[in-house]
Every structure is written in C-alpha cells, then in structure tokens.
Structure 1
Amino acid sequence: ATDSARFVLRQQEENFVYWLERTVRQRGTFYSIHAAPVQIGEYVRESFFAERRCVIFTSATLQVSGDFDYMLERLGGDKLPHGRIRCLAAGSPFDYDRQALVGAATFLPDPGGRRDRAFDRELGEFLTDLLQVTRGRALVLFTSYSLLEAVYAAVKQPLERAGIKVLAQGHSGSREAITSFFRSVPSSVLLGTRSFWEGVDIAGETLSCLVLTKLPFHVFTDPLVRGRTAYLRTLGRDPFLHYTLPEAVISFRQGFGRLIRRREDRGVVMVADRRIVTKDYGRSFLDSLPTGHHVLSTPEEALEAVRAFFEQAELDEPH
C-alpha cells in the first residue's frame, strides 16, 4: 500500500494519468487518489503474453467493425511476432431475425443537446406508454444517473398505477437485490446505469424489452478518457475514430447482449438515441448488430411495431 501511494503521489510515470476524486455519501465526504496507464498494450504484452505459450481470449465483443484490430492494439497483440495470433469469429447460436425486433426511435429529440431537457421529458413520456405495452418485463439502460433520475420521476407513478413495479439503481436497493427482485417479478421494470450494461444474465420472458436510452460514449471529462485522447493526438490520430467510437460500439454490443440469452428468448430492443440513424458514425453501431433494424418515425409506429412483434411471438409458440 505504501509503494502504491508513493507511486501515485510522485506522478513520475509518463504513460500514466493521475487524478483526485471526491465522493459525497451519507457517512461523509471521501477523497481518493488514482493512477491508471494511458496505454496498456506494452504491459500486457511483456507481463502476460511473453510469459505464456498460449493465451485464449473469448468474448462476444472482441470485434469492432467486423475485425479484431482495435482489441489487438489495445491489448498489445498487434506487436507480437507474426504467427502468434489466430482470430476466429464464431457464429451465433441465436436466430436474431426471428427472436429480436430492433427499433430506432427517431422521433425523440437529439440527446446530445440537454439544455431544455426535451429529450428527458419526451423519453419519459414514450417509456410510460412503451412499458405498458410490454407489461413491464423491461430493462432500461442509461449512461448517466441524471437521465435515470429524470425518467424514474416521470414513469414511476403512472407505471405503478398500471400494476408495473419500477426498480431503479440508487433507489430500490443494491444491484444484486434489485436484479433478484426483477427476475422474480415479471411485471417489473429495472432502470440501471453502467454496471447493468454487462454481466447481467436474465433469461426468459422476465426480460422481453431492452431500452438503450443513449449511445454509450465515454464521459469526455473523465481523466482517463482525457489522457487517452491526448495520447492519440500526439500520434496524429483522431481520438474519436480510434478510441471513443470503438469503445462505445463495444459497450453498445454488451448492452444489446442482455436481451437474448437462450434460443427460446424473444424480445424487443428499442434504441432511443436517434443519432444511431442520423449521424454518420451511427453506421458503426448498426453494423455491430446481429440483425437489421427498423426506423420508427412516430411513437404510434413504435408502439404498434412492438405490439405486432409480441402478438406474432405468441402465435409462434408451440401449443
């Protein structure tokens, strides 16, 4: 611990970024100091790859834009001797064209402009209607607590009057407690932030609707993000194309993966961020999906598409 503190306080390692965090809790205000490497490739290559004859990485989210180049560079694999790397993209066991409906809600305001809170307000109104159509059974993923709080305030009363329990991170208990409750009560909705974008496994009808409220870009004021973007600029590379966008696409795929967990699962993914269609970089997100998408131009069109999907799913069930 002493060596770690000395390392952070000296701030002599050029490849590291250092910062101080202030956290306010009920028990008081806490301060912590941090250090993290800007680039991890060299460390991984020298301390991990070099000491092992064989290393196997498996994940559903190792690819970006159809290849492994970004992840290989991040992990130092791009500098290994030719012939040491073998990459395989295995097919999915799921029939996404049949099992999932992906909709892009282009009728919502651009979430990039938050001054008048129009996006927050209209998203809350739309979700109030959508989550009644799905009868709960939904996981709504956020990239910030502020948007979660705004939506929670908007949907809680109308949904609970309709018999749908609303669970929210920061309001309804620990992550484990609200996940357990959500699994056991089908007519419920779970609102979660970053920690729910990955590592949550809820199979079956309990999770039949997944809402991705915004494309999961990093917060640009994060010290580590700022350090990595500054480093890329020194190399003459575009930080958005070579870091920000690939990281967001990986997070997006992780979020998408919460829905279909078994061959029997059916469900809807609603992307509430219109930029996935209206911005050039949106194509990177769409290309990462295992199925096509539907552009939904009005709330009525979106709700009807969801109704039709679940009606067809019921007809397809064996009797």
Structure 2
Amino acid sequence: MRLDTLDQEVSLGDTHSRMANVFEKFSLLRSCVTNLDDIRRITRETLEDFIKDNVIYVELRTRPRSFHNGKIPSSSYVEAIVEVMKQFEEKICSRLILSIDRTQTLEQAMETLKLAENYRTYVVGLDLSGDPNVKSFERFRPVFDLAKQINLSTTIHIGELPDDECLNENNLIIDYKPTRLGHFNFRTNDQEQRVLKEQIPLELCPTSNLLTMNLLDLTQHHFDLFYKNKHPLAICTDDSGLMNCSLSSEIFQVVQTFHLTKKELYEFMFETSNLIFDKNMIEFCQKKLNTFSQQSNLF
C-alpha cells in the first residue's frame, strides 16, 4: 500500500476507526514476516537506516513470535535479532525492548518476560502496546510487577483513545508508574497533573500522533504543553516505515513547529539521553553530543 493511501485511510472516521486502520496495516506487515531470515534482514535494514540518520543509540521494539507452529520458538526470534545487533556494535549501540501485545494471553506475556530476563545484555525493557481498543493492562499487571522486581525497565502505551474505558485504564497505568509512558494523547486534567508531578517520562511520536489523533497540524500536539513544563520527553518514530518518517524528520518537525533554538534542541537531546534504558550508555551518548556541539559550533 502506498503511504499516501495509508494517510488517506487513517484520516477517515473517528479516532477509534483510524487506530483500527493503523493496526490492520501493522497486522498485514507482520504477516509478511515468515521466517528468521526475514527477521535478520529487517533488523539489518533498520539499523542501516538509523546509522544513515546519524543515530548513536537506538532502542528497537518487537513482539517475539514463533514460526512454523512453534517448531522455531520465540527465543530463536530474539536470538536472530541479537545476532544482527552484534554485527553492528562498532557503528551503533542498539538495544531491544520486547513488546507484549494487548491481545495476548497472560501466559504469552509471561513468556515474553522470561525472554527479556534471559537476554538481559541486549534486552533493556518490556513494553505494552498494540490495539488500544483492547483494554488489558489490568490483566498484565502481574507481569509488569515482576518486571519491576527484576529491575527491568518498562514502557506502556497510554491514552491512545478518547473513551471512558481508555481514560479509566490511564489511572491504572499511572498508578503502576512505569519507567516511561508512550503517547498519552488523551487524558484528564487530573491525569495530566499526576504525570507532571511524578515526572514520568513521555515518548512522543509526532507523525503517528498527527495521523491517529487527526490533528490539523503539529501546533495542536501536546509536546508544547509538556515541554514548557520542563517534563522529561523523548521524540520517537513509532514505525518509521509505515509512518514514512525518520528520527531526524520527527525532531525537525518539532523544532520548526515549536521554534526551538539550536541551544534548546541540544539541551533537549541531552536531557533525553538520561531517559534511555541502558544506563551504562548515558555517559557515552552525552559525550558524543558534547563533541558534536563543539565541533559544529552550535552556540
């Protein structure tokens, strides 16, 4: 499907139907991946794209899966990704976040947590995402409680739909206080104030949010509100292929829309580096940023 066709489709209907459309496309893409060679190729091409974009540290997200009716287990899926990541170690620091899909069972979620625990060198976090029409955080709460017990970072997509069920689930997720929150597009004033007060970092995906929220333009995005409150934020790409964006293009949009100076952008990126899940890499990232700013005479 052409990207302009996707844009046309997800712009139709309310937020619920737009989200359903997006996840239908995700499922379609997922069905095209049928073996470990596909996984290796996709991982390699993804890392090559990030290297071309001058990214120095990246956290890739994926939902582990088995192939051929379980003959190739989900552990082989993770191993295939890690194998490629190792090949790129000299060019980019890449880490993995394993995703639990909202439609999965508790047993499947527990299996994903075990995989994360078994591959801790490269797996730095656990994610809950997937179709937000399925409200399932309460079901998976035991898994995320265990993740905290083993000091595994967590990130949970929150507030993706403007309905009462979603807003109620927001409270449960904020109560849990994950390491980071994803999106937070729809929220009550009370929830907004709680997240601000507790300083729970947000992952924002401008292009994705623009499409799924059907915003007129980026000036309506909640980046401005949280940025002005000096809240910890990270700009992300969601799915760069499906959304036709790169990390640079997402950051550029934000800078242009909200009129950040070079100094403000540098300070923003420096603060964002504190939010990465592999804490051993924070100093490395900040040194790279400092070196770049000095060599480029940014300010």
> Normalization by structure 2: what TM-score?
0.32
TM-score for the superposition, normalised by structure 1: 0.31
Larger fraction in helix: 2
Greater RCO (CA < 8 Å, at least 6 residues apart): 1
Report which of the two structures shows the higher radius of gyration computed on alpha carbons: 1
